[in-house]
Amino acid sequence: MLRHAAGETPLVVEAGALDRLDALIAHHLPGHRPIAILDATVARLHPDLLAGAPHLLLPSGEEHKTRASWSRLSDELLALGADRRSAIVAIGGGVTTDLGGFVAATYLRGIPWIAVPTTTLAMCDAAIGGKTGVDTPHGKNLIGAFHQPRAVVADPRVLASLPEGTYREGLVEAVKHAAIADGDLFAWLERELPAILARDEAALEQLLRRSMAIKAAVVSADEREGGRRAILNAGHTIAHAAEHASDYRLSHGAAVAIGLVLESRIGERLALTEPGTSDRLATLLGRMDLPILLPEGLDPQAFRAALALDKKNRDGTVRAALIARIGAMAGSDAAGWTSILPLEMVNQPS
Ligand SMILES: NC(=O)c1ccc[n+]([C@@H]2O[C@H](COP(=O)([O-])OP(=O)(O)OC[C@H]3O[C@@H](n4cnc5c(N)ncnc54)[C@H](O)[C@@H]3O)[C@@H](O)[C@H]2O)c1
Ligand SMILES: [Zn+2]
């Protein structure tokens, strides 16, 4: 078990952990009455989860990560008589951990919760760091709270039922974590990729442990953002613009794969990134069947407009967190963790 300063949240990564979820909950939330908020698809595919324990179902899909769901679940907790000794156990993908965590953050001004991520994305990213919240018609994650879970429980066995595309797209964040902070993990991934793609439990335990620990360490150093946490946005400047320009037909994971490669390519041309970095990223992500170039049909004008939108929030420049070489970032506390992306290079990144 690993601990990190962001609330000293224990990270339990173990094949079979869900078989002893009741015991883990009792251990990490002693004296509390657990109430699960469970993704409906996960509930259907894994009916043994928390058999008998009280639970509330959340219909699957990003479209349910709303204030309406928050309000309904909060009312259901009130109807169940949940009090200060109650605790939320959010079981599902990032939608469920974000929303379940937000319900916990606001119910009676905050009750404890445990995150039980069941997708690669939620394990590697969403369940770590204490950011919770919901979407609004004005944009994603605009209403929320920082509320650290008491523990994160990740069981690689539950990933067996995840659709192939969702499985691979979520792993992009693990590739990102290795690329920004751990060159040995990246080399390990290059060697062990076949086992990871075969969902080998022992290999997944290793990858998840190391990837989750990287995010936890970065976040705990900068819990409310401003400084080094920006390195978690590697690949994301271009990713967000590409997602937006594609009207969100491009998945987040696919967009980050493209962003990691293209931002490194620009970094190489700016002599901020070691030559060969973008090729190594492209090779690994290509072996995972992820895209490494902007889609042919993507409207260049819409892409530029989306980047410019990013620009508006800053000093008139587009910035990105660039990788110096696999395992290390180009920035520093003194110089800042992001670099300017010259627009003419972004428009023609290859
Ligand atoms: N809080 C953060 O720091 C943070 C970071 C990154 C992403 N996020 C959020 O995470 C969300 C995306 O997470 P996601 O990709 O996990 O999406 P998701 O929760 O929608 O899950 C994806 C799909 O997989 C299904 N599913 C979940 N577990 C399954 C399993 N074991 N087997 C079969 N199907 C399963 C779900 O029902 C859903 O249809 C977004 O809302 C994003 O904003 C949050
Ligand atoms: Zn991301």
Q: Which domains does the chain have, with CATH numbers?
A: 11-161 (3.40.50.1970), 168-347 (1.20.1090.10)
| Count of beta carbons in the 10 Å neighbourhood of residue 344 | 7
Give the position, in ligand 1's atom list, of the atom nearest the Cα of 129: 3
Q: What is the pLDDT of residues 173-211, one digit of tens each?
A: 999 999 999 999 999 999 999 999 999 999 999 999 999
Cα 173 from Cα 212, distance rounded (Å): 10
Q: How far is the CA of 174 from the centre of ligand 2 (A)?
A: 10
Which of 64, 65, 69, 95 to mutate to test ligand 1, by most ligand atoms within 8 A of the CB atom? 95
- Ligand 1: does its nearest atom lie under 6 Å from the Cβ of 74? no
Cβ atoms 43, 49 nearer than 8 A: yes
Cβ atoms 105, 75 nearer than 8 A: no
Identify the residue whose tokens are 């928050």.
70
- Ligand 1: does its nearest atom lie under 6 Å from the Cβ of 91? no
- Ligand 1: does its nearest atom lie under 6 Å from the Cβ of 155? no
Identify the residue whose tokens are 């900068």.
222
Q: How far is the CA of 52 from the centre of ligand 2 (A)?
A: 35
**What is the residue with the minimal CA distance to atom 16 of ligand 1?**
93
- Ligand 1: does its nearest atom lie under 6 Å from the Cβ of 43? no
Please name every residue paired with 175 in a beta bridge, in sequence order, or none if there are none.
none
Q: How far is the CA of 252 from the centre of ligand 1 (A)?
A: 11
pLDDT at 142: 95
**What is the residue with the minimal CA distance to atom 41 of ligand 1?**
95
pTM above 0.75, yes or no: yes
- Ligand 1: does its nearest atom lie under 6 Å from the Cβ of 60? yes
Give the position, in ligand 1's atom list, of the atom nearest the Cα of 158: 31
Residues annotated catalytic, as ranges: 109, 131, 173, 215, 225, 229, 233, 236, 240, 252
Which of 21, 37, 39 to mutate to test ligand 1, by most ligand atoms within 8 A of the CB atom? 39
**Which ligand is nearest to the Cα of residue 253, counting in written order?**
2
Per-residue pLDDT of the chain (350 residues; tens, 9 = 90+): 444 445 479 999 999 999 999 999 999 999 999 999 999 999 999 998 877 779 999 999 999 999 999 999 999 999 999 999 999 999 999 999 999 999 999 999 999 999 999 999 999 999 999 999 999 999 899 999 999 999 999 999 999 999 999 999 999 999 999 999 999 999 999 999 999 999 999 999 999 999 999 999 999 887 666 688 899 999 999 999 999 999 999 999 999 999 999 999 999 999 999 999 999 999 999 999 999 999 998 988 899 889 888 765 667 789 999 999 999 999 888 888 999 888 788 765 45
- Ligand 1: does its nearest atom lie under 6 Å from the Cβ of 41? yes
Residue 332: phi and psi, rounded to 5, are -160, 165
pLDDT at 223: 61
**Which ligand is nearest to the Cα of residue 115, counting in written order?**
1
- Ligand 1: does its nearest atom lie under 6 Å from the Cβ of 65? yes
Q: How far is the CA of 279 from the centre of ligand 1 (A)?
A: 29
Give the position, in ligand 1's atom list, of the atom nearest the Cα of 62: 20
The burial of 141, by beta-carbon neighbours within 10 Å (0-12 exposed, 13-18 middle, 19 or more buried), is given as middle
